[in-house]
Amino acid sequence: MRLLFVNYEFPPVGGGAAYASLATARELVAMGHRVDFLTAATPGARQDEEIDGIRVFRVRCHRRSVHDIGLLGALSFLALAVPRLRALANHNRYDACHYYFGLPTGLLSCVPGAHRATPYIISLRGSDVPGYSPELRSFHQFLLPFTRRIWGGAYRVIANSRALRRLAAESFPGLRVDVILNGATTPKTIPIDARPRSGTRVLTVSRLIERKGLDTLVHAIARSRDPALHLDIAGEGPEQASLRHLAHSLGVADRVRFHGFIEHAQLAHLYTNADVFTLVSRAESCSMAMLEAMAAGLPIVATNVGGNVELIQPDVNGLLVEPENIDALERALSELAADPQRRLHFGTYNRDLIEQRYGWRSVAQQYEALFEEMVASPKISETAVEPNSGVLERRGIDP
């Protein structure tokens, strides 16, 4: 099959969706499919190139930072991607298009052009779902008619967790939403029982934004009576200055290390030298960082929100705590810090779980089955929306 992936994020910029889309595309190419990838340009990257058999086409756009495209950046990507998308569709007979993010990327599915004749799927990632990010409430309300059209016109809408599917259903009851979780790659060798030790090292990898709840994590480290409990924070974002100030004000600046942005290939070193991985988000879909930590054989402490509860079984491969509950978070971290055997048990289970169920080949096979179903199905007409019903329908038409 000839497939076109569209995502305004592509490594090294962006978060989990960037790496998920690249990893899925790689596997599909390895399985014998042709994949073209339309994305935004990154500083220093070639405009167009081939990566692991994937033809990557880039358009320039403005970005606030590595992890934040901003409204201006999203608009600039959409404007400059339109002619490139049309040209690609005119010169290639794609069997299917795969848009990552309903907004902003999915808006390209509404633009007139040859690509409109190609069936598409939408991968929901979190912030593109109404209600996921409270700060985007007004944005989603304004664009709700477009979201209705984008989701309703898709052959399938895919969420990366059951929790995200439930949230999507609140906005569009009656619309079918399937679930395909993210994946991870298991390192060939991880010396779980022979890592160099300097106290107990807790690691988190995320964007430094309010939704990730990192302030509660710094408070938990400060509340711990164990002076050997250290925290490593990998990532950057608008909350970095306030988090540094918080660590200083709580007297734990010497126990909290900010690594800033780490290249994806270099994260393996942090995973290898950590004892516990923690994800304390106030809302989460399906964390790529947590899956990668599991693949590296780390035990997990996470908040019981979103996709976290679909991956972590309490007392089997990690511990779950309520978001904002600093005391519970501190107890969970201290429990694992004091029990190396329990950490080893959780970590071994996580590594086996990724190998058996959440490898990228498994993810790609699920998408492959979906694309093959699309190719074999009748063409899809434009979305029909029943007035006042909130139910979106797709009507087949003759080829």
Q: Does one domain contain both 291 and 365?
A: no
pLDDT of residue 254: 95
pLDDT of residue 288: 92
User: In this predicted model, what pLDDT tens digit does every residue of 227-252 receive, in sequence order?
Assistant: 999 999 999 999 999 999 999 999 99
Q: Does one domain contain both 277 and 164?
A: no
Report pTM: 0.85
Three-class DSSP category at 125: coil
Structural domain contains residue 74: yes
Three-class DSSP category at 12: coil
Q: Does one domain contain both 155 and 8?
A: yes
Task: Please provide residue 369's backbone torsions phi and psi, each rounded to the nearest 5 degrees.
Answer: -60, -40
Structural domains in the chain (count): 2
Q: Does one domain contain both 116 and 174?
A: yes
Residues contacting residue 269 through CB under 8 Å, at least 6 positions apart: none
Q: Does one domain contain both 118 and 138?
A: yes
Structural domain contains residue 145: yes
Q: Does one domain contain both 154 and 271?
A: no
Q: Does one domain contain both 335 and 352?
A: yes
Q: Does one domain contain both 254 and 231?
A: yes
Determine the structural domain holding residue 280 and report its residue range.
Answer: 200-357
Strand 54-59 relative to strand 48-51: parallel, antiparallel, unpaired? antiparallel
pLDDT of residue 396: 28
Are 118 and 95 in contact, with CB atoms under 8 Å apart? yes
Which whole number is the average pLDDT over 94-103? 96
Structural domain contains residue 189: no
